[in-house]
Chains A and B, each alone.
Chain A
């Protein structure tokens, strides 16, 4: 099947309005949220039903063509970067909330449903969907499933993987499987757990069953300012040591505050070297008691001022400052690189010191915004692409930061994924055998390596010969692997 035939097949399946093949229109889809990598796909399809997704995937199988699934395209690791000779399957038109089961606190949604849309759909019933990535207004549930998205509140509530109980998945050969559901403990392997966070390499989720949570009785938020990140880090340690599990503990350093202030006018205290946003939620009696304790612990750690959110409006402002910090950095620097690394929380002072040192060596600035409770750092490396050599230095610095995280026993990504961007770093975190064994899973789901090829793993594992005449491996054809 050549390209023209494939396009005709797609048009038969979903109609001309769901198939894009003009080069200038295809360009819209050349990258995701990580714009530094761009590839124009061969065809883009926008299916509206599970049946259409299956049809598309089957056609790809028959044609031996790779495909990449994409939700809203907000990912920050190039996980939805198209493949030049491949098909981009955009799930944005599958936007139905299929079912809300209030009794069992579950929602069944299509993959294109936006994260915040789920919480809005059940808000009147006092429920919400817990994972809240900063992009929650526009990111899709399907994308969240692929990336195992986190958010500010995952310290207490966990990640996407803890809130997905069922999936309908179209496998790379077009077969449909159901993993999990509404009932707990389905017999068999936890393929649901393996699928969530697999970055689109194991298949396409076409329905997602989500756990909904009851909105807490009480939410209390404070913003504590400190002279520097060391003191703020000390406050975090004290809170954790006291046996308190806040819903969120977020830290911003002076540069991040400067950027956020320019964008949303939170009125951070003058001269503060770091702020912590600490949020507690739960039953009122517990929250009130622990909130007072958190306030005290912040003071003991040397907090200079503590502001308490008196109402939802003020709380929203604290969060707006935090959640807009990435974009706000654009106001103080022409270009910046968003890094995502994880360290054991107790290594925070050491790693922040190391980051400052590395930045100094390269004459660059780094703004730090991070989930302090779980050690997930988001250093923003500021640079000016117009200045000769700065971009390269920024990339080097971002890479060095990852290595500093690994030295502490951390991870190269806490929530943005490996994708295309970091696949060369995965072997620095895992050994060759680890990666080989991980890819056994890939071989079970996608033996031909046609589902989002070239992502996550630097070297794809070839899954053994299929019975029958020798065929050219699609990964090989796409120039992604060589057969020895």
Chain B
């Protein structure tokens, strides 16, 4: 393979990988940082000729999502593809290279009073990584997710083919919508090199109403009231640190000052029917917004993302807690995008809850024989069943590689899996891109 890539090495396009470049303990042989679409195309063409297994990285925050790589020869970083190519402020559109940090992009858009309405929690998220991982945050309630905002894309396939879809106008139905196909595809179909998005005006003001919740049912009692009302919150977020203490629901209104104040004033009595609601003052609002979407744990052994229709939230919360309890995983902390039906749970992990003796579900086996990941795997299975009963899913989004090898991080893929495999075969017939990482081992 070295021979094939020699030319690229001479040009400084690839370098030997260091220990720090390892993904899930698998160290690639080579690392490349193309600085243009053309370079990326040349690189991938050469890499595919050499049969290199390739993983793409943006900010690196989502490299742990999915199954650990089966094999990894080349790591392609989009770090140097970081330019904002065109900001058409009057058209509320921006075209940007994939490696640009989302935070930097927001900074570049701010002077025009605009923003890309994505607020994933990862501070170093790149634009391309956000698209590839379909990352989202609290304000998805109002603005939707990447798929709702992306209007154009440039991709580089495994064989170096460069293709565009969409364009730079918001309304456009010409050709297939490959932009959406690549949302959440996690580097398994091709490299996302450039993306074009529709933008939104930056809201001028915000008001926040909070509600303490003591029982999981209250989460839906409050959220359902908001969704049935004519109020238009940007976010309804739940953070629940410890389940024997109350959790907090944070409801955010954003827009023009008179509008958000009126909405907060109307929301307070509505939430007051459920529990103790409070309209925050300016200081509290600022603090709440700074904390919005922050996960209520510093470190967790594993993080799962559960999704269900919003009315199923209380049962999802209870199901997660009970599944964790049944497998003696100790502390579980939960946060939810309550308005959209997404729960993220941080689980303390096997080490923080040593088994106190043989367990019923393990039969005769001595607990000391337990593999460290077994309780967690049991939790995932049990929690997934609870979610499936609600019409939902559960994905392990963060966990040590050995755990992710031991459990199915994605869960049952549904009846479209064969079709997904066919899509993968069309785009990456030699299975060079992040093999095994995605749903169903794609």
A187 touches which of B172, B413, B423 (Cβ 8 Å): B413
In the bound assembly, the distance between CA atoms of A292 and B111 in angstroms comes to 25
User: Which residue of chain B lies nearest to A293 when distances are taken between CB atoms in the complex?
Assistant: B256
- B residues near A103, Cβ cutoff 8 Å: 224, 309-311
User: Which residue of chain A lies nearest to B412 when distances are taken between CB atoms in the complex?
Assistant: A187
A376 at interface by CB-CB < 8 Å: yes
- A residues near B340, Cβ cutoff 8 Å: 184
Bin chain B's interface residue count. 35 or more
A484 at interface by CB-CB < 8 Å: no
User: Could you tell me if B163 and A182 are in contact, using CB atoms closer than 8 angstroms?
Assistant: no
In the bound assembly, the distance between CA atoms of A245 and B232 in angstroms comes to 14
**Contact of A433 with B173 at beta-carbon distance under 8 Å, contacts A187-B413, A441-B178 already known:** no
User: Could you tell me if A186 and B259 are in contact, using CB atoms closer than 8 angstroms?
Assistant: no
- B residues near A243, Cβ cutoff 8 Å: 113, 201-202, 204
Encode B181-217 as 1/0 by CB contact (under 8 A) with A. 1011100010000000000111010000000000000
B69 at interface by CB-CB < 8 Å: no
Encode B357-375 as 1/0 by CB contact (under 8 A) with A. 0000000000000000000
A444 touches which of B174, B231, B422 (Cβ 8 Å): B422
Encode A397-432 as 1/0 by CB contact (under 8 A) with B. 000000000000111111111100010001001110
Encode B141-155 as 1/0 by CB contact (under 8 A) with A. 000110110000001
In the bound assembly, the distance between CA atoms of A178 and B420 in angstroms comes to 12
B297 at interface by CB-CB < 8 Å: no
B315 to chain A, nearest CB (A): 13
User: Which residue of chain A lies nearest to B134 when distances are taken between CB atoms in the complex?
Assistant: A185
Q: Which of A28-36, A80-88, A112-120, A281-289 contacts B (4 or more CB under 8 A)?
A: A281-289
User: Could you tell me if A106 and B309 are in contact, using CB atoms closer than 8 angstroms?
Assistant: yes
User: Could you tell me if A438 and B413 are in contact, using CB atoms closer than 8 angstroms?
Assistant: no
- B residues near A71, Cβ cutoff 8 Å: none
B85 at interface by CB-CB < 8 Å: no
User: Could you tell me if A193 and B180 are in contact, using CB atoms closer than 8 angstroms?
Assistant: yes
B157 at interface by CB-CB < 8 Å: yes
Q: Which of B12-20, B236-244, B387-395 contacts A (4 or more CB under 8 A)?
A: B387-395
User: Could you tell me if A286 and B255 are in contact, using CB atoms closer than 8 angstroms?
Assistant: yes
A291 to chain B, nearest CB (A): 12
User: Could you tell me if A197 and B416 are in contact, using CB atoms closer than 8 angstroms?
Assistant: no
User: Could you tell me if A418 and B311 are in contact, using CB atoms closer than 8 angstroms?
Assistant: no
Encode B426-439 as 1/0 by CB contact (under 8 A) with A. 11000000000011
User: Could you tell me if B168 and A344 are in contact, using CB atoms closer than 8 angstroms?
Assistant: yes
B410 at interface by CB-CB < 8 Å: yes
User: Could you tell me if B173 and A410 are in contact, using CB atoms closer than 8 angstroms?
Assistant: no
A437 touches which of B178, B266, B342 (Cβ 8 Å): B178
User: Could you tell me if B415 and A190 are in contact, using CB atoms closer than 8 angstroms?
Assistant: no
Q: Which of B2-10, B28-36, B86-94, B99-107 contacts A (4 or more CB under 8 A)?
A: B86-94
A161 at interface by CB-CB < 8 Å: yes
- B residues near A283, Cβ cutoff 8 Å: 230-232, 259, 262-263, 266
**Contact of A104 with B311 at beta-carbon distance under 8 Å, contacts A183-B392, A243-B202 already known:** yes
- B residues near A393, Cβ cutoff 8 Å: none
- A residues near B416, Cβ cutoff 8 Å: 177-179, 188, 191
In the bound assembly, the distance between CA atoms of A426 and B167 in angstroms comes to 13
User: Could you tell me if A411 and B174 are in contact, using CB atoms closer than 8 angstroms?
Assistant: yes
User: Could you tell me if B171 and A282 are in contact, using CB atoms closer than 8 angstroms?
Assistant: no
A465 to chain B, nearest CB (A): 14
B281 at interface by CB-CB < 8 Å: no
- A residues near B301, Cβ cutoff 8 Å: none
User: Could you tell me if B309 and A435 are in contact, using CB atoms closer than 8 angstroms?
Assistant: no
In the bound assembly, the distance between CA atoms of A188 and B414 in angstroms comes to 9
A343 at interface by CB-CB < 8 Å: yes
In the bound assembly, the distance between CA atoms of A149 and B204 in angstroms comes to 32
In the bound assembly, the distance between CA atoms of A401 and B147 in angstroms comes to 30
B283 at interface by CB-CB < 8 Å: no
User: Could you tell me if A411 and B172 are in contact, using CB atoms closer than 8 angstroms?
Assistant: yes
B391 touches which of A150, A183, A289 (Cβ 8 Å): A183
B417 at interface by CB-CB < 8 Å: yes
Number of inter-chain CB pairs below 8 Å: 265
- A residues near B311, Cβ cutoff 8 Å: 101, 103-104
User: Which residue of chain B lies nearest to A345 when distances are taken between CB atoms in the complex?
Assistant: B91
In the bound assembly, the distance between CA atoms of A445 and B113 in angstroms comes to 42
User: Could you tell me if B413 and A411 are in contact, using CB atoms closer than 8 angstroms?
Assistant: no
Interface centre among B163, B172, B256, B415 (most CB of A within 10 A): B172
B411 at interface by CB-CB < 8 Å: yes
- A residues near B439, Cβ cutoff 8 Å: 187-189
In the bound assembly, the distance between CA atoms of A422 and B173 in angstroms comes to 12
- B residues near A435, Cβ cutoff 8 Å: 175
- B residues near A185, Cβ cutoff 8 Å: 134, 136, 145, 184, 305, 307, 342, 393
A52 at interface by CB-CB < 8 Å: no
User: Could you tell me if B88 and A344 are in contact, using CB atoms closer than 8 angstroms?
Assistant: yes
A260 at interface by CB-CB < 8 Å: no
Encode A237-264 as 1/0 by CB contact (under 8 A) with B. 1001101110000000000000000000
User: Could you tell me if B173 and A417 are in contact, using CB atoms closer than 8 angstroms?
Assistant: yes
A374 at interface by CB-CB < 8 Å: yes
A229 at interface by CB-CB < 8 Å: no
Q: Which of A13-21, A211-219, A361-369, A474-482 contacts B (4 or more CB under 8 A)?
A: A211-219
In the bound assembly, the distance between CA atoms of A357 and B227 in angstroms comes to 50
User: Could you tell me if A344 and B91 are in contact, using CB atoms closer than 8 angstroms?
Assistant: yes
In the bound assembly, the distance between CA atoms of A106 and B312 in angstroms comes to 14
A434 at interface by CB-CB < 8 Å: yes
- B residues near A159, Cβ cutoff 8 Å: 171, 173
A158 at interface by CB-CB < 8 Å: yes
In the bound assembly, the distance between CA atoms of A131 and B255 in angstroms comes to 23
**Contact of A409 with B169 at beta-carbon distance under 8 Å, contacts A183-B309, A289-B256, A434-B175 already known:** yes
User: Which residue of chain B lies nearest to A242 when distances are taken between CB atoms in the complex?
Assistant: B201
- A residues near B189, Cβ cutoff 8 Å: 189
B356 at interface by CB-CB < 8 Å: no
User: Could you tell me if A196 and B177 are in contact, using CB atoms closer than 8 angstroms?
Assistant: yes
A132 at interface by CB-CB < 8 Å: no
User: Could you tell me if B171 and A150 are in contact, using CB atoms closer than 8 angstroms?
Assistant: yes
In the bound assembly, the distance between CA atoms of A187 and B183 in angstroms comes to 11
Within 8 A of A (CB), among B220-236: 224, 227-232
- B residues near A375, Cβ cutoff 8 Å: 91, 169-171
In the bound assembly, the distance between CA atoms of A181 and B312 in angstroms comes to 14
**Contact of A371 with B171 at beta-carbon distance under 8 Å, contacts A188-B439, A189-B423, A441-B423 already known:** yes
A440 at interface by CB-CB < 8 Å: yes
In the bound assembly, the distance between CA atoms of A355 and B390 in angstroms comes to 54
A105 at interface by CB-CB < 8 Å: yes
B27 at interface by CB-CB < 8 Å: no
A329 at interface by CB-CB < 8 Å: no
- B residues near A196, Cβ cutoff 8 Å: 177
User: Could you tell me if A158 and B91 are in contact, using CB atoms closer than 8 angstroms?
Assistant: no
B420 touches which of A171, A189, A434, A439 (Cβ 8 Å): A189
**Contact of A190 with B176 at beta-carbon distance under 8 Å, contacts A344-B169, A433-B161 already known:** no
B162 at interface by CB-CB < 8 Å: yes
User: Could you tell me if A104 and B423 are in contact, using CB atoms closer than 8 angstroms?
Assistant: no
A420 to chain B, nearest CB (A): 14
A122 to chain B, nearest CB (A): 13
Within 8 A of A (CB), among B256-310: 256, 258-263, 266, 305, 307-310
Given contacts A183-B341, A411-B169, 11 further A-B contacts (CB under 8 A): A150-B173, A161-B147, A188-B420, A189-B439, A191-B416, A193-B177, A214-B230, A342-B171, A346-B88, A436-B161, A437-B155
Sampled A-B contacts (28; CB under 8 Å): A159-B171, A161-B177, A175-B419, A185-B307, A186-B307, A189-B423, A190-B180, A191-B416, A191-B423, A194-B177, A194-B181, A214-B230, A216-B230, A283-B232, A286-B258, A344-B169, A345-B91, A346-B91, A375-B169, A375-B170, A376-B171, A411-B169, A416-B173, A431-B164, A436-B163, A437-B178, A445-B419, A445-B422
Q: Which 4 A-B pairs have the closest CB atoms?
A: A193-B180, A286-B259, A243-B201, A285-B262
- Residues on A close to B: CB < 8 A? 101, 103-106, 126, 147-148, 150, 154, 158-159, 161-162, 171, 175-179, 181-191, 193-194, 196-198, 214-217, 237, 240-241, 243-245, 282-286, 289-290, 342-346, 371, 374-376, 409-418, 422, 426, 429-431, 433-445, 456, 463
